[in-house]
Structure 1
Amino acid sequence: MMKNQLRVKLLAGVIASALSVAAPVYAQDTTSGLTGRVVDAKGAPVAGAKVKIVHVPSGTTSNATADANGRYQAQGLRVGGPYHIEAQGTGIKEIDAENVFLNLGETSTINLTETAAATAQLEGVTVTANAAQVAVFNSDNKGLSTNISHAQLEAAVNADRSFQNIARLDPRVSITDRDSGNVSANGKNYRYNCIMVDNVNAGDPFGLNGNGLATITGAPITMDAIDSVQISTSNFDVSQRGCVGANINMVSKSGTNEYHGEVYYGYRTSKDGFMGEIAPVGGNTDSPYYGWKREWTAGFNVGGPIIKDKLFFFLSYEESKRIGYAASSGPSDSITAGTTPVQGINTAFYNSVLGKAQQLGLNPGDQTLANLTNKRYLAKVDWNINDQHRAVFRYSETKEFQPVATGSATQVSPNSNWYFNNRNIKSYLGQLFSDWTDVFSTEANLQYTHVVTARGPLVGGYQPSVSVSNSTSSSTPNVTLGTEFSSHVNALDIKQISGYFAGTWHLGEHTVKAGFNGAQDKVFNAFMQGYYGSYTYWAPSNNSVDNFANGAWEAYSIKQPAPGFDLNSAQANFKKQQYGAFIQDTWQATDRLSLTYGIRMDAPRFPGSPLYNPCFAAAPGAAFTAKNADGSTLCTASKGGFGYTNNTLPSTSPLFQPRVSFNYDFDTEYKTQLRGGVGVFVSDVPTVWYSNSFGNSGLTSVTYSITDQASNPVGTLLCSQNGTSFTKAAGATCPAGQISYVKQAPSYNAGNPLIPGGTTPAAPGASGAQMAVDTIDPNFKMPRTTQIALAFDRELPWMGIISSLELNYTKTNDDILYQMLNYGAPTGVGPDGRNLYYKTISGTFATTRANANPAFGTVTRLTNSHGGQSTSLTWSFTKPMSDDWSAMMAFRVGHSTDANAGASSVANSNIQANMWVNPNLDSITTSNYDVPKRVIAGATWQHKFFGDYKTTVSMFADLHSGAPYSWIAGNDVNGDGYSRDLIYIPKSATDVAWKPGTTATQIQQFMSYIQNNSYLSDHMGQIAGRNATRSPWVNQIDLSFKQEIPGIFEGNKGELRFDFFNFGNLLNSKWGVEKRATFPLFRQLANVTGIDPASGKYIYDITGSQYKDANGNYRPQQLIVNETGGGGTSIPSQRWSVMMTARYTF
């Protein structure tokens, strides 16, 4: 007898469109869900109907039973499809749904409805549905997100196979720095993103990488092993944890009942006309890329059954190499030495410095090239234990060796100053998905990751750092050689273990989800900057190369283990733990209104604490000395300490995060819905920010730091009030109360570095042996925000286009604020009202931090800022794949503010990387990551010209506002020890004094520049604002062409593909080039050298080479076209290039 069936065929090709569409979010997940109602021909629910859900490629089966309202639920399903859904029940014909595809992290609604025709006839009835509509117009769609299927990943233009080129498909997610790979969501710090693979952390476990990933380059796993990606910027599901920024979750591929695989080889070269030539800022001649010569990537993956319908495997291997890394910057008259010309450093000066270095026994290195290598492994097993239980086991490993060419717009470095990053990452994961009953299911996972990183000199072995400046008043521009300052001692070992468990109950119109998670990081961080010593030479009155030859250094610093400690015991060794729990209810209040509400709790734990420093905790004022048990000096502080302990850690109080969201489906001809939510979100901070406190207690190491701004000869008696800034003694002795030091000759022997004042390290706090202490406010709270989202989706009458208008507002409740506590009391006030900390104010500034505690160097505190916000309004249009093409376009406007960019891994650098008038204030201004306007557009066209072999052309355009920056002085204006001072913009040439020797022409050119600059001219007579002006727009268009060709065997195919990065730059060398300010986003307008005693005005100095063009005319520090050529870039980030890939699939 013929079976009566109703077949509901969902258009698989629609959901596999080549451009991403907005999709609902279902937590940080590796799976999909399915819900719907089983209804008979009269519209009555079919209680007790049995629903069988089969993943056709693998035979994985899940069963559900409809409740009294006919509703069925299934969770923990494999992503993708196709699925076959079958419903049987009393009084209905069998209902089948075929070709159902499920998105990552989404619970799709598939209603199974018997029709009158099916009841009256014995033949099947076919009903079609638009899967793109199912993805968007869905009761679970309450937040703001983008889902990217496997087909979309394959179509996406990705010339460097990077994670960033996938993340940018969400209109709220921007690549804020092409060169470093920063990815920011709605203008938030890239360190606040959650990057997951298979629901476990794949982000940077410590916080050192600019791309936010555990890997240095590329993606967390090879792109060809990723099945789908979900990007969420507002996810109100309380099982989401640790995300104030974007939640980016990737799921790896799995094996099926058929054997499938591919081998591929990709190649890109900077030679032979296959990469663009662009002109540097200020230049007129286009020049080739010198970062590396060529790169190749080769790999394979294969998957299939071990036992049909039961056990499956998937294997992936990829190896890549970039060959011929070169310098990132070079002398201004020799651009072929690098991509960034350094004004003020010519070839003659560069060669003279290297020549003197060799004569002095240093190994300065040369321009020898280096190679980057990368190997990625993945093995995965899926086990269908039975219809109720499914398990997944995955192992992955990444091995990376990255050479980093140092240098900047103000620094040229030979390869003795370059360094390597050597990283190995191993990850183990187990997952279990269980349906215990028709109404109760669980998910559990356990993962372990081990990350080992080493950093050291690329060539020349370990030696002191030496910087020789070609300036009479500043340490830049310079030639820097020897071991890079942060690579003297730098190694990292992290062991991570985490677990997650969640249970879901289906209770009629309510779905209750509850669970918990826990994680522990065990960290060993060996980090000691300047362990072999660091010298700075400049020429205040003569030739800096001569000073170098004679040993007349201007500044010297060295960090060494304190007495009683060795290099190993002086390092950070600690544990960090995180625990969380959550519960929520999703209520289908009516057929059209769905509500989700819940609460999450997170609590950090720190089993240990930093080493207690009694000298730091001593009361200020009176001298204090602490002794060891053997009577030796532990530390000493001639003026006492700071009056509070250094070994406190962040608050461990529970952080509660209530969230509520909704979705309302309007009854209209064309599908329309309103969705949104409000909730509290908490993010962890990078582990390295905790590590700073463990590694810098002030007791385990001592820092000697001496500045002699006159570059006096060796043997000169120097005097200091604060133990840091020294001047030549007026007589045979120093004044009472001042510290004396006889200048010593440099030592360039790494095994016997210069220890100022003696041959062994002094006790911490003793004369010249300052303690550097990083502390954390005991009331410090993790970054916490309140987010509000509201969105309106509408199906348009044409071609299935879906339009969405999405608003996101984020109020920052708690964020980071770094403060430096050892400035001492101000010594005066500048003409513009800022506090000054110089000992000598009238005339030429001298002796920074005059009233600082001499026993201590930098003393930092990590505390909270309580301001800042982010707003974002996005309007998007998406045309699903039909008639061989798909397209999308999105417009976004927004603004973001904060107090501190958190741009560095080092506490002191996070202070130095900020711009200010008066330091330590919680001043809320435009964020470094602010992108006020962005337009993205994409399109894919496919056609079969030859049999079943597709031709595919894809395009993606990304146009957005340039990065913000600040106008600052080129030196330290206020005497706080940092050259990050926002500059006063003169109203006229007579509003400030000028350094003797400044010509009238130079002054006129300076004022003319101000008057012709829109920002500066509008703010004359004011102090420049932080991030108050902006670089030019950034426009990038990428293009991909792909052609399938016949394979060797039946069912196999070949593929030839060309991915053009920055295709617009191919058409015009001036297009697609990003101009930005020097990190951390500043431009120097002039130096401020003192206060004129007669007029009380600042003394401006624009006579230095950094303020002159090639003709000697005034110009401020220029914007740069930044291609560091090995400094962590994933691609030649400014010019066009093409990745050519050959692939064979079977």
Structure 2
Amino acid sequence: MKTLSAGAAAIALTTAFATLAPTPAMAQSTTSDVRGVVTDPSGAPVAGASVSIRDRRTGAARTVRTGSGGVYTFRGLNVTGDYTISIDSDQYADQSVSNVTLSLGDTTVVNFGLAGASTDDEIIVVASRSSAIDIATGPAATFDFNDLQNTPAISRDIKDIIRTDPRVFIDESFGNGLQCAGASPRFNSLTVDGIKLNDNFGLNSNGYPTERLPFPFDAINQVAVELAPFDVEYGGFTGCNINAVTRSGENEFHGSAWGDYTNDSLRGGSIEGSEFDKGNFRKVRFGATLSGPIIKDKLFFFAAYEKFNDVEVLARGPAEAGAIGTQGVSQAQLDRIADIARTVYGYDVIPLPANFDESDEKILVKLDYNINDNHRASFTYNRNDGNNITASDGDPNEYEFFDHYYLRGTTINSYSGQIFSNWTDNLSTEARVSFTKNDTRQESVGGTDFGEVRINTFNNGERASVYLGADDSRHSNKLDTETFNIKLKGDYSINNHLITLGYEREELEVFNLFVQQTEGEYRFDRVGTSGLALDPDANIDDFEIQLADDIHYGNAGGTNVPEDAAANFGFVTNTAYLQDEFVLDEYGLTITAGLRYDWYTSSDVPTLNANFLARNGFDNTSTFDGKGLLQPRVGINYEAADNLTLRAGAGIFSGGNPNVWLANSYQNDGTTTIQLRVRDIDLTGLTFVEDEGGSGRPIYGVPQFLFDDVASGTADTGVNAVDPDFNIPSQWKAAFGLTYNFDAPMGFGEGYTLQADFLYTKDRDAATIIDATLEQVGTGPDGRPIYRQIDRADPDCVDPLAAACGGRRFNQDFILTNNEGGGQKVISAALSKDYEFANSWRADWTVAYAYTNAKDRNPMTSSVAFSNFVGVQTSDPNNLALATSNYEVPHRITFRAGVANEFFDGYETKFNLFGTISQSRPYSINFTDGGELFGDQLDDRHLLYVPTGPADPNVIFAPGFDTAGFFSLVSELGLDQYAGMIAPRNAFQSEWFSQWDIRIEQEIPGLFKGHNGAAFVILDNVGNLLNDKWGVINQAGFPGRVQLADLDESGLGPNGEYIFTGFNNVDPDSIQRPVTNASVWEIRFGVRYEF
């Protein structure tokens, strides 16, 4: 018997006898596979050889015999296992490969070349795997438990790990949304042990159904990110699929406990010279894991728990706060607004605190049952209950008193059961059932007695919106969803083919109470930017004399009881797929080809609105019922040489589109919910509905006449509807990549790994929103259309130019429909190397780069149809032009390095570094107004026409217009490159930034034999610790726009010219504002104990 330890000898034998390589990825699975070919000394396949696999941790074992081509396969293996694979031969020396570990989403190939030797000999090889990222037929990344534990993950979120892939960008300015290859965070999918835990309804910008990571961080064994997996089991996304598998118990008991701590003295308090009040706080997080056998070799458990009481620093303020302040409002203006609210309306605003408390609690329990050698089962339960306090209107040009913030909370309970069976050496099956219940709550910090107030202010040449009272979207808001999934899959191998057949079903039930403005919304914004020079406090004056420019009120038609307007509906997503994986081992080639078909069914329809039918010629009851999509895919993996693997694939993907976009048509049918809007209202002359205090006070109660109009149920209001010709959105994906292992010349060392990928995507039937009430009536001097509203059900408004059809009608019909043309091109490369030194030193590093070019017509940034319509910057709201996507990050570089050494014998010290250098989000430059002139009644979102100069024939500059100052600003902003044109959407890119994080860990002795401990420290954004100008993320605020020039809204000039009446004299340096909490340094100290 000859035993080899890991090292050069083992690697040599691995090359000669057992070759490990990744092959085409499995699907959204919780398991992995092993396959290989057994050959004799002449290279001929050996049929009927006995191949066994055994998991050292649990004792689970299985034996199969090779087929006629010498091929063997083990399917449905536990990813957390530590395996030994053995060959038992009567003619040749037995062989075994130990320490085989598996990667989620990969099939591991272990080929055996039998040697002519005495049958009493046995060759044993200890497997050695590269630490480089595993790549399958499409661009992907897999991270194991060591990656999760050693990366500087100060947030204890898998996003801290995933971001090391340069194709992935975490948008810390907008809910930590995860953007994969330039796609919306809403288009991703997340599964954990087969449980679908992405934000399938679509309310959260973070991509989770909860406020934070919905499961304990220490429960995860591996996580894989797949950008374009060409296996037909993958579905439910067009961005990326994030698939995680949890840890499992084994025959030995193991446990851990950990905690970490930080406080206000361990966090930065200044950005670019501007200090802010952090307040006094401390943050504590702690958790534990425990695993082991219930019945040895049979039944095992694993449990994880995590809790924290966190503090969020609220670094906001007025203009006097400097870089973090809202420049369009001063402290004196805020004081006056607060005083008016108290003395005129009897309402006390809540000032912004320095910080506020948040909490989160997670628990996961998993059972694994080895029924026998051919059947095993697992069950996972997961619960998360967390909350945070969120700004509703927190853009850089907005200021909210704290009473306008709201508490978000979510409780999720999920259950998953799976059975994996091997009926013969050729036939295996998987059955899975899961259920998830998600209850969300959204409550205004100041309660809902007082409606929402918005006041536009002006200061230092800039405009701001100031908010107080209950946020209008939190007046009546509650969401409960229940999701039931089943999966049935079978694999049958015959010769060199593996045939996969499967069916999946997802049933979604929704209760959605979302009625905006049930307490009323009052806007004091009569004076726009053009009035700044006349009276910067004019709108505050209107607030004092109770003269509102707009009042919005919405409620359940006929009753004024918000609960009566809740949407209750459900639908089913069905999937069937068939695939053939064809392996030609003699050529190192694997071809995967298959078909996937998704189809939707539902018996629930929105309430018919006869007025909508009369206006538009089609009804509002369309859903996704009966719609389907065929998705062909093919993938190729080619081992061109021992050190070179090529991969390619193409196919159609669908899914990830938030269900809330469909829910809007149930909720906003214009009958169940009625939304009203009136303008130029003197509150002093109105009667108000009695409030909770028994008196009808302005803003505490809504105007009686609006309440009565809703009670009558006859108001003709706008509708959200699905286009009857709507097609399920999908995307073509094509990819080519390689993995190349090589030795560097000129003495730079051995064992480098280069990975490179090209990803191309093209949108098919991407979702967008149009306003069906708009009809073009003219053309602007720059060629853009001018619209007016039309109402075909109103004889006086069939002609949009009719006098009775003028002004604002407020019954916009928003249609969910399709567009074409968007997509992404992504080129990425990663170079990595590991070092094993003769002493106790070891090290590794990876440097990676990604270039992303992303285009779309509508970024669909919101859950609300109105916001998705107004949130895109445009020169034609109903025919959006193809432009740079909001989610494009053109260049991103990442660097990861780790060094470890035993400075103290037996106790390792680890240093891990992660850094990123990246561009930030793009932005547009717009007119400040234009809603009335261009006809959609929506300001701020119309792209700027850039005059060629003071004599531009398309523009008249109003008397007193500072043309010299304006064109100087045009030059400073880089707008002069678009002179005589409309500045394109997202034509301007926010600046580059870099951030570096460090984790240092020192192992320490445990209290008993087999126990060990560790102390660690995480330094987040080290550069900012050294200099408050470093590590700062500066970018234009959501939704990525800058308002510049004012238009005369009364119409065009005598020869069709635009009339420029003024401009917002923005400071070019203030367009990109710091993302405060993502830009300051933080340090956490922690300890961990394991046995």
What's the TM-score once normalised by structure 1's chain length? 0.86
Cα distance, 1:220 vs structure 2: 2.5
1:363 aligns with 2:348: yes
Q: Conserved in 1, the CA contact under 8 Å of 2:48 and 2:65?
A: yes
Q: Distance in 1 between matches of 2:993 and 2:362?
A: 32
- CA distance in 2 between counterparts of 1:469 and 1:751 reads 21
For residue 554 of structure 1, give the secondary structure of its aligned residue in structure 2.
strand
Structure 1 residues 1095 and 679: CA distance shift in structure 2, 3 A: closer
Indicate conservation of the 8 Å contact 1:897/1:925, yes or no.
yes
Any residues of structure 2 matched to 1:43-122 within 5 Å, and which? 43-116=43-116, 119-120=117-118, 122=120
Number of the residue aligned with 2:283: 295
> How far has the Cα of 1:663 moved from its partner?
1.5
- Name the CA shift for 1:607/1:713 in 2 (closer, same or farther; >3 Å): closer
Deviation, 1:477, is: 1.4
1:201 equivalent to 2:196? Answer: yes
Mean CA deviation greater in 64-73 or 522-531:
64-73
User: C-alpha offsets along residues 477-523 of structure 1, whole Å, 9 cap, x if unaligned?
Assistant: 13210001110011000011001111111212111111110001100
Report what 2:741 is aligned to. 795
3-state SS of 2:270 partner: coil
Partner residue, 1:873: 827
**1:771 alignment partner in structure 2:** 717
The answer to whether residue 895 in structure 2 is matched with residue 907 in structure 1 is: no
| SS across alignment from 1:1133 | helix
Q: Please report how far the alpha carbon of residue 54 of structure 1 lies from its aligned counterpart in structure 2 after TM superposition.
A: 1.0
**Contact conserved, 1:684 with 1:782, CA < 8 A, in 2?**
no
Tell me which residue corresponds to 2:15: none
* Preserved contact between residue 102 and residue 108 of structure 2 (Cα < 8 Å): yes
Judging changes above 3 Å, is the alpha-carbon distance between structure 1 residues 880 and 28 closer, same or farther for their aligned structure 2 residues? Answer: farther
Decide which of 932, 947, 957 is 2:905's aligned counterpart. 947
Instruction: Name the counterpart of 2:852.
Output: 894
- Of residues 512-521 and 293-302 in structure 1, the stretch that sits farther from structure 2 once superposed is 293-302
| Alpha-carbon separation, structure 2, partners of 1:124 and 1:430 | 40
1:120: Cα distance to partner?
4.2
Which residue pairs with 1:593 in the alignment?
589
Shift of 1:860: 0.4
Question: 1:299 offset after TM fit, Å?
Answer: 0.8
Secondary structure, aligned partner of 1:761:
helix
Give the Cα–Cα distance (whole angstroms) in 2 for the partners of residues 525 and 759 of structure 1: 25
Deviates most, 912-921 or 847-856: 847-856
Shift of 1:848: 14
Q: Supply the AA of the counterpart residue of 2:949.
A: S
Match status 1:661 vs 2:635: yes
| Partner SS state of residue 309, structure 1 | coil
Length, aligned pairs only: 1038
2:464 is aligned, of 477, 491, 501, to 477
CA distance in 2, matches of 1:11, 1:108: 21
How far did residue 286 of structure 1 move? 3.2
Could you list the runs of 5+ residues in structure 2 that have no partner in the other structure? 12-20, 528-534, 688-694, 744-748, 790-799
CA gap 1:894/1:273 in 2 versus in 1, 3 angstroms? closer
Partner of 1:17: none
Change over 3 Å in CA distance of 1:451–1:548 after alignment to 2? same
Corresponding residue number in structure 1 for 2:380: 394
Q: Give 1:748 deviation, angstroms.
A: 4.6
Partner of 1:29 in structure 2? 29
2:330 maps to 346
Residue 691 of structure 2: aligned partner: none
Quote the residue 1:727 is aligned against.
Answer: none
Q: Which moved more, 1:356-365 or 1:826-835?
A: 826-835
Deviates more, 1:554-563 or 1:583-592: 583-592
Alpha-carbon contact 1:80-1:104 (below 8 Å) kept: no
Q: 1:255 to 1:242 in 2, by over 3 A?
A: same
Whether the 8 Å CA contact 2:1002–2:1015 is kept in 1: the answer is: yes
Read off the aligned partner of 1:395 and give its amino acid letter.
Answer: Y
Q: Does the 8 Å contact 1:10/1:129 carry over to 2? A: no
Which residue of structure 1 lines up, in the alignment, with residue 548 of structure 2?
553
Match in the other structure for 1:1005: 965
Within 5 A, what are the aligned runs for 1:563-578?
A: 563=558, 566-578=561-573
Deviations 1:674-715 (A, max 9, x none): 21111111114101111100000100122221122xx76855
Q: Residues 144 and 751 of structure 1: is their aligned pair in 2 closer, same or farther, counting only changes over 3 Å?
A: same
Please say if 1:976 is aligned against 2:955. Answer: no
User: Following TM superposition, by how much is the alpha carbon of 1:170 offset from its aligned partner in structure 2, in angstroms?
Assistant: 2.4
What pairs up with 1:529-540 in 2 under 5 angstroms?
A: 529-538=516-525, 540=527
Tell me how far 1:121 sits from its aligned partner: 8.1
Cα distance in structure 1, aligned partners of 2:183 and 2:510:
26
Identify which of 945, 948, 959 aligns with 1:987.
Answer: 948
More divergent stretch after superposition (295-304 vs 1067-1076): 1067-1076
Which position in structure 1 is the counterpart of 2:651? 679
Letter aligned with residue 1144 of structure 1: Y
Report the 3-state secondary structure (helix = DSSP H, G, I; strand = E; otherwise coil) of the residue aligned with 2:765.
strand
The amino acid across from 1:698 in the alignment is G
Change (3 A) 1:594 1:1096: closer
- How does 1:948-967 map onto structure 2 within 5 Å? 948-967=906-925
**Which residue of structure 1 aligns with residue 702 of structure 2?**
753
**1:329 Cα shift?**
2.9
Cα gap change, 1:474/1:1135 in structure 2, threshold over 3 Å: closer, same or farther? Answer: closer
How far off its partner does 1:852 sit? Answer: 7.2
* 1:1076-1113 deviation line (CA, Å, top 9, x unaligned): 1121111112222345646753333446xx6356xxxx
Which shows bigger deviation, 297-306 or 585-594? Answer: 585-594
Alpha carbons of structure 1 residues 457 and 749: separation in structure 2 relative to 1, 3 Å? farther
Distance 1:130 1:747 in 2: 77
CA contact (8 A) 1:993 1:1092 kept: no
More off after superposition, 399-408 vs 962-971: 399-408
Return closer, same or farther for 1:12/1:365 CA change in 2, 3 Å cut-off.
Answer: farther
1:212 alignment partner in structure 2: 207
Deviation at 1:112, TM superposition (A): 2.6
- Deviation of 1:380 (Å): 0.9
- Cα separation, 1, equivalents of 2:662 and 2:1085: 43
Contact 1:109–1:134, Cα closer than 8 Å, also in 2: no
User: Cα offset for 1:876?
Assistant: 1.6
Asked whether 1:272 is paired with 2:265, we answer: yes
Q: 1:68 to 1:295 in 2, by over 3 A?
A: same
Match of 1:809 among 729, 735, 760: 760
Distance 1:1068 1:829, change over 3 A: same
- Counterpart selection for 1:885 from 832, 843, 846: 843
Percent of aligned pairs sharing the same letter: 30
User: Counterparts of 1:479-628 in structure 2 under 5 Å?
Assistant: 479-538=466-525, 540=527, 543-563=538-558, 566-591=561-586, 592-618=588-614
Going from structure 1 to structure 2, the CA distance change for 1:447 and 1:853 (only over 3 Å counts) comes to farther
Residue 43 of structure 1: CA displacement? 3.3
The separation in 2 between residues aligned to 1:645 and 1:129, in whole angstroms, is 64
Instruction: Check conservation: 2:33, 2:77, Cα contact below 8 A.
Output: yes
Counterpart CA distance in 2 for 1:895 and 1:596 is 28
Any conservation in 1 of the 2:267–2:1080 contact (CA below 8 Å)? Answer: no
Per-residue CA deviations over 1:261-293 (Å, capped at 9, x if unaligned) read 111111233x225435213xxxxx232464994
Cα distance in 2, alignment partners of residues 291 and 202 from structure 1: 35
Give the AA of the match of 2:330. N
Structure 1, unpaired ranges of 5+: 15-20, 280-284, 619-640, 718-745, 840-845, 1110-1114, 1124-1131
Shift of 1:607: 2.0
1:1068: which partner in 2?
A: 1027
Letter in 2 for 1:530: Q
Q: CA deviation at 1:124?
A: 4.4
TM normalised by structure 2 equals: 0.90
Distance 1:192 1:365 in 2: 37
Given the alignment, which residue of 997, 1009, 1026 partners 1:1050?
1009
Residue number in structure 1 paired with 2:746: none
Q: Deviation string for 1:872-915 (max 9, x for gaps)? A: 11122122453301111112223111111010000010011101
User: In structure 2, what is the Cα distance between the partners aligned to 1:190 and 1:545?
Assistant: 38
Residue equivalent to 1:160: 155
Does residue 1099 of the first structure (1) align with residue 1059 of the second (2)? yes
